[in-house]
Every structure is written in C-alpha cells, then in structure tokens.
Amino acid sequence: MADSVYKVIELIGSSSVSWEEAAKAAVEKAGESLKNLRIAEITKLDMKLEDGKVTAFRAKVSLSFKYES
C-alpha cells in the first residue's frame, strides 16, 4: 500500500440560519469541484452584525482531501 498525501485548504461558509449550515455550505460547495474529501475541521465561528442584530453565521473550515497528481 502506497503512502498518501493530503492537501488542506481553508474555506468560510455563511448562513442566515446557523453555524452548522454555514459549515455544511462550505463543505458541500467544495465537494462540487474537489474529489476525495477526507476531514473538515471547524476552526473559527463568528457572526455578521447589522444594526446590532445577527444577520449571518460564518464558519471557517479547514478541509483536507487526498492529493493525486
């Protein structure tokens, strides 16, 4: 069995509903163009505010996928 190499990228997803939906949006969008997604780690959560009210939830996600040349 050959050793594997993985690449890690960072994405930020947003949602007006929840942090979970924000993270899911980032991973699903990446899955449209990347193959062999392996691990998604939420590294930061924040919110967008307007006039003192939450308008969006944001999740920064580190996403790894198998690197194939």
**pLDDT (tens place) for every residue of the chain, 69 residues total:** 468 889 999 999 999 999 999 999 999 999 999 999 999 999 999 999 999 999 999 999 999 999 876
Domains for the chain: give ranges and CATH numbers: 6-66 (3.30.1660.10)
DSSP class of residue 12 equals E
Rounded-to-integer distance, Cα 24 and Cα 13, Å? 8
State pTM to two decimals.
0.85
| Among the listed residues 2, 18, 23, the one whose alpha carbon sits nearest the alpha carbon of residue 66 | 2
Which amino acid is located at 25 in the chain?
A: A
How many helices (H) and strands (E) in the chain? 1, 3
